[in-house]
Chains A and B, each alone.
Chain A
């Protein structure tokens, strides 16, 4: 279509044209009177009726988990390459890399050799002892491999989400048509296992039709499917912020404050990620936390300024409260901010301006719950 443009109308033979299943369902062109089917006629319902364009179906039929791996691998290769640094820009190999590399190689070789010698020694001493240690060490190796693999998968999922976000932002920013359903199906794979979203996904597939532009399809998906997830995530953020506020307010030790805030924050980030379908492992959540912290660091200065102004000056309640409570509110709001950033990092479709969760409401929530606490006393 884009390579060549046909300006004048072209007529086709009806048999040459591929129809779209749901278009046929919505509009009947048949001018003959309807045929009444016999009662025992069988009706086939296939999931392919959800498919818009005739395309190779990669994910719809295979089991969701498998599909997950498939496409994440597919995207891993793509997302590895976005930074195409030209060769002449590569920095000279630092001696530190050689030092660390050779050191770790030495360590690995030594430990492998050592283990081998150890097992050989044990076998020499007795067959039973040798066998026991061999099994033990193989189990250990197997477990480590599995864990590493899973973590790697987790990292890939997070990367995939950021890749999806880029694609989504692109689709929502231009007036294109026809690419969005392919993208949405990739996003929907993240939610195939969720029974609570099944009805919403079905409703989405029911209401989207071929005449919607890419931007419309994205905003429809965002509104009909992700809005629910957003609300759940928002509730988690509000809950965790309130918890942090209480705990910090009650604790007397400064170090404990920090530990508590950190613990609640990490838990919250992981919760939000799994809510949006990222299911992070240890390594995955580390990279996720790094992403969140990065986006916090680069947050708009004016936004930060406005918020902290409101936090410090906005509420007369704060000025009469004890320093302890104020500290609690402070770390609660920090948690809320981290949570909202985590939502932005984890959501496969980027937020539009009107959908963005606002910290204002959470702040009000925290303050009112603290007020209630004092009032009850």
Chain B
């Protein structure tokens, strides 16, 4: 009996949200992307565009804004009090500072709720309720944590085997040397010693940090909390590591058993909690990818980014659902947008190539989604446009190029950043100097507090993700 009442009370507390989302009055938007793919900048820009996008010429492809039906957007108190609020104003402050800078990389989870007021265009509702409100919930989190989600499906042995296989190849082979040598010197069927566990996990964490360095740019780094511990720094739950060789005898209380216990605890208390609280149900999803960074590093980084995204996208629930299904079968993502960020770092005539390339790169998840009859699209976008397009004469021909202030400089430069290949490159394509996409600083935004931020195709992204909810 007691069990039933608690079940019902739990259901009713979420009932309002549930009904709202079923009736298209509330949207939970998943902003998915590996670390450094531009999630925080995207969310900051998205909020800013919605709050200052009333000038219809700024978001021409966002129907509700360009038709003048958008009344305005406001930040709302978030639904979950125990989660920090997304620091939107801080991000804008940094963009407006002197010199301007991008918002800081995310260290922990944060949440924001927006209320969009708009004039209804539906023939009947127009007279009954002329002004309507759509609530949008967005969660920001470190991209590293996303890679924990695939762990939910893996046992400790399976995961260890996966990591061991990855470490057979360069550059992981050299980077992991210290950790591997230490593991080889320990017999894991011995009784548990805390010092050994701590030492092994520290060496493994060092290895992960080395992989993360920009010159290697590897993204398949599990467990995600090791490199971005958040509030769990130093907790025993983060003191374990995969084993390269599973010992043949696994007695109770051995090092191996303790490792496995901690892995399971990590899955249960860190990953599953994170998943249940923030990732279990979404309505729309945008997957941000930064292919330019992978181009700069090399084939390994690229291949790893691709497989990491493939893995991560399997952790979400997708389906095209009608209202009945929503009410009885739970909420599922029915629209996914793949977006290549930093579109302003290539010349405008390369945007199409960038989009084609993105499609090629994510062809596998896209096919799966098509099977689930989920609508997908791929854009190249820039949350904040940092460069100007320009033209120059080169070898007697007109050449399109871009001007901007590079990340490590103060003076603007002009360059043609190179062509984006349409097909997935093979390792031989990374010849010396082939890809060198320069990173740029954000532009000076003197009126960012009141005016809208310059962007590329953010309006089309908004239209795709939210357009049918109005």
- Chain A residues with CB under 8 Å of chain B are 1, 3-14, 16-20, 23-24, 26-31, 33-34, 53-54, 175-178, 203, 206-208, 210-211, 213, 216, 220, 223-224
Interface of A is mostly: loop
Q: Which of B385, B388, B403, B438 has the most CB of A within 10 A?
A: B388
B61 & A9 in contact (Cβ 8 Å cutoff): no
Point out the residue from B388, B395, B418 that lies within 8 Å of A19, measured CB to CB: B388
B391 & A17 in contact (Cβ 8 Å cutoff): yes
Q: Identify the 9 closest CB pairs spanning chains A and B, nearest first.
A: A207-B57, A207-B60, A210-B389, A23-B388, A177-B349, A10-B416, A17-B414, A206-B57, A28-B444
Instruction: Kindly list chain B residues whose C-beta atoms are within 8 Å of the C-beta of A12.
Output: 392, 394, 401, 414-416
What CA separation (Å) do A20 and B414 show in the bound complex? 13
At the interface, yes or no: B16 with Cβ under 8 Å from chain A? no
B416 & A6 in contact (Cβ 8 Å cutoff): yes
B419 & A27 in contact (Cβ 8 Å cutoff): no
Point out the residue from B356, B387, B413, B460 that lies within 8 Å of A27, measured CB to CB: B387
What CA separation (Å) do A3 and B398 show in the bound complex? 11
The interface-forming segment of B236-244, B274-282, B362-370, B404-412 is B404-412
A220 & B414 in contact (Cβ 8 Å cutoff): no
A1 & B400 in contact (Cβ 8 Å cutoff): yes
Expressed in whole angstroms, the minimum distance between the Cβ of A87 and any Cβ of chain B is 37
Expressed in whole angstroms, the minimum distance between the Cβ of B344 and any Cβ of chain A is 8
Expressed in whole angstroms, the minimum distance between the Cβ of B211 and any Cβ of chain A is 27
Nearest CB in chain A to that of B385: its residue: A27
B443 & A28 in contact (Cβ 8 Å cutoff): yes
What CA separation (Å) do A18 and B389 show in the bound complex? 9
Instruction: Kindly list chain A residues whose C-beta atoms are within 8 Å of the C-beta of B433.
Output: 8-9
What CA separation (Å) do A210 and B419 show in the bound complex? 18
Instruction: Kindly list chain A residues whose C-beta atoms are within 8 Å of the C-beta of B61.
Output: 216, 220
Instruction: Kindly list chain A residues whose C-beta atoms are within 8 Å of the C-beta of B454.
Output: 26-27
Instruction: Kindly list chain A residues whose C-beta atoms are within 8 Å of the C-beta of B404.
Output: 29
A17 & B401 in contact (Cβ 8 Å cutoff): yes
Instruction: Kindly list chain B residues whose C-beta atoms are within 8 Å of the C-beta of A30.
Output: 412, 444
B390 & A29 in contact (Cβ 8 Å cutoff): no
What CA separation (Å) do A210 and B351 show in the bound complex? 11
Instruction: Kindly list chain A residues whose C-beta atoms are within 8 Å of the C-beta of B392.
Output: 12, 16-18
Expressed in whole angstroms, the minimum distance between the Cβ of A328 and any Cβ of chain B is 28
Instruction: Kindly list chain B residues whose C-beta atoms are within 8 Å of the C-beta of A20.
Output: 388-391
At the interface, yes or no: B245 with Cβ under 8 Å from chain A? no
What CA separation (Å) do A207 and B411 show in the bound complex? 29
Expressed in whole angstroms, the minimum distance between the Cβ of A51 and any Cβ of chain B is 13
What CA separation (Å) do A4 and B397 show in the bound complex? 9
Point out the residue from B391, B395, B414, B457 that lies within 8 Å of A14, measured CB to CB: B414
What CA separation (Å) do A33 and B437 show in the bound complex? 28
Q: Which of B58, B390, B397, B405 has the most CB of A within 10 A?
A: B390
Point out the residue from B56, B344, B400, B414 that lies within 8 Å of A16, measured CB to CB: B414
Instruction: Kindly list chain B residues whose C-beta atoms are within 8 Å of the C-beta of A208.
Output: 60
At the interface, yes or no: B121 with Cβ under 8 Å from chain A? no
A19 & B58 in contact (Cβ 8 Å cutoff): no
Expressed in whole angstroms, the minimum distance between the Cβ of A27 and any Cβ of chain B is 4
B352 & A177 in contact (Cβ 8 Å cutoff): yes
A7 & B419 in contact (Cβ 8 Å cutoff): yes
Given contacts A6-B418, A211-B457, contact A23 B390 (CB under 8 A): yes
Instruction: Kindly list chain B residues whose C-beta atoms are within 8 Å of the C-beta of A177.
Output: 348-349, 351-352
A54 & B414 in contact (Cβ 8 Å cutoff): no
B397 & A7 in contact (Cβ 8 Å cutoff): no
B390 & A18 in contact (Cβ 8 Å cutoff): yes
What CA separation (Å) do A216 and B397 show in the bound complex? 26
A10 & B419 in contact (Cβ 8 Å cutoff): no
A211 & B351 in contact (Cβ 8 Å cutoff): yes
What CA separation (Å) do A18 and B434 show in the bound complex? 25
Q: Number of contacts between A and B (CB, 8 Å)?
A: 144
What CA separation (Å) do A217 and B416 show in the bound complex? 23
What CA separation (Å) do A211 and B413 show in the bound complex? 19
| Further 10 A-B residue pairs, CB within 8 A, beyond A6-B394, A177-B349 | A9-B436, A10-B399, A10-B415, A17-B390, A27-B385, A31-B405, A178-B348, A211-B348, A211-B385, A213-B351
B397 & A16 in contact (Cβ 8 Å cutoff): no
23 A-B pairs with C-beta separation under 8 A: A7-B418, A8-B418, A9-B415, A9-B418, A9-B438, A10-B416, A17-B403, A23-B388, A23-B390, A26-B454, A27-B385, A28-B445, A29-B443, A30-B412, A31-B410, A207-B56, A210-B389, A211-B344, A211-B389, A211-B456, A211-B457, A213-B351, A216-B61
Expressed in whole angstroms, the minimum distance between the Cβ of A346 and any Cβ of chain B is 25
At the interface, yes or no: B446 with Cβ under 8 Å from chain A? yes
What CA separation (Å) do A310 and B370 show in the bound complex? 35
Expressed in whole angstroms, the minimum distance between the Cβ of B72 and any Cβ of chain A is 19
At the interface, yes or no: B66 with Cβ under 8 Å from chain A? yes
Instruction: Kindly list chain B residues whose C-beta atoms are within 8 Å of the C-beta of A216.
Output: 61, 460
What CA separation (Å) do A207 and B397 show in the bound complex? 29
B390 & A211 in contact (Cβ 8 Å cutoff): no
At the interface, yes or no: B343 with Cβ under 8 Å from chain A? yes
A210 & B416 in contact (Cβ 8 Å cutoff): no
Nearest CB in chain A to that of B436: its residue: A9
Instruction: Kindly list chain A residues whose C-beta atoms are within 8 Å of the C-beta of B391.
Output: 17-18, 20, 53-54
Expressed in whole angstroms, the minimum distance between the Cβ of A208 and any Cβ of chain B is 7
At the interface, yes or no: B249 with Cβ under 8 Å from chain A? no
What CA separation (Å) do A5 and B395 show in the bound complex? 12
At the interface, yes or no: B150 with Cβ under 8 Å from chain A? no
Interface of chain B residues 367 through 395 with chain A (CB within 8 A): 382, 385-395
What CA separation (Å) do A203 and B66 show in the bound complex? 10
Point out the residue from A1, A7, A24, A213 that lies within 8 Å of B388, measured CB to CB: A24
Given contacts A9-B436, A33-B98, contact A14 B403 (CB under 8 A): yes
Expressed in whole angstroms, the minimum distance between the Cβ of A5 and any Cβ of chain B is 6
What CA separation (Å) do A208 and B438 show in the bound complex? 26
Given contacts A27-B387, A29-B444, contact A10 B394 (CB under 8 A): yes
Instruction: Kindly list chain B residues whose C-beta atoms are within 8 Å of the C-beta of A3.
Output: 397
What CA separation (Å) do A7 and B386 show in the bound complex? 22
At the interface, yes or no: B247 with Cβ under 8 Å from chain A? no
What CA separation (Å) do A13 and B393 show in the bound complex? 11
Expressed in whole angstroms, the minimum distance between the Cβ of B58 and any Cβ of chain A is 7
At the interface, yes or no: B229 with Cβ under 8 Å from chain A? no
Instruction: Kindly list chain A residues whose C-beta atoms are within 8 Å of the C-beta of B251.
Output: none
Given contacts A5-B419, A220-B61, A224-B60, contact A23 B98 (CB under 8 A): no
Instruction: Kindly list chain A residues whose C-beta atoms are within 8 Å of the C-beta of B403.
Output: 14, 17, 19, 29
Instruction: Kindly list chain A residues whose C-beta atoms are within 8 Å of the C-beta of B413.
Output: 11, 14
Interface of chain B residues 427 through 470 with chain A (CB within 8 A): 433-434, 436-438, 443-446, 454, 456-457, 460
Expressed in whole angstroms, the minimum distance between the Cβ of A30 and any Cβ of chain B is 6
At the interface, yes or no: B108 with Cβ under 8 Å from chain A? no
